[in-house]
């Protein structure tokens, strides 16, 4: 799975979970500040991402994730 495919799937999930139009989500969008995610949203997002990509996002890794790019980078790294 290449980076573009991961981006498309991640933005689709973010759009669905956060109610933000997919075409408004960019790699540099901040999950909390730009997309309006709260702590409950983040838990829901992690579960959806783990299911979609068959990965485990550890709590210590989650603390390092603040932008869409961070999410994509993590998934690409783990799936490589």
d(CA 80, CA 59): 21
DSSP H or E run through 5 = helix 3-18
**Whether pLDDT at 80 is above 90:** no
**Whether pLDDT at 59 is above 90:** no
d(CA 26, CA 58): 24
The domain ranges of the chain are 3-79
d(CA 80, CA 74): 10
Averaged confidence pLDDT in the chain: 95
Residues noted as catalytic: 38
**Whether pLDDT at 10 is above 90:** yes
What is 3-79's CATH number?
A: 1.10.1200.10
For 27-56, the pLDDT digits (tens) are 999 999 999 999 999 999 999 999 999 999
């Amino acid at each position: 799975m290449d980076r573009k495919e991961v981006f498309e799937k991640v933005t689709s999930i973010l759009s669905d979970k956060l109610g933000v139009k997919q075409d408004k989500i960019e790699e540099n969008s901040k999950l909390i500040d730009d997309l309006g995610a709260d702590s409950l949203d983040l838990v829901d997002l992690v579960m959806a991402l783990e299911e979609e990509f068959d990965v485990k996002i550890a709590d210590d890794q989650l603390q390092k994730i603040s932008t869409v790019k961070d999410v994509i980078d993590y998934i690409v790294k783990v799936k490589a």
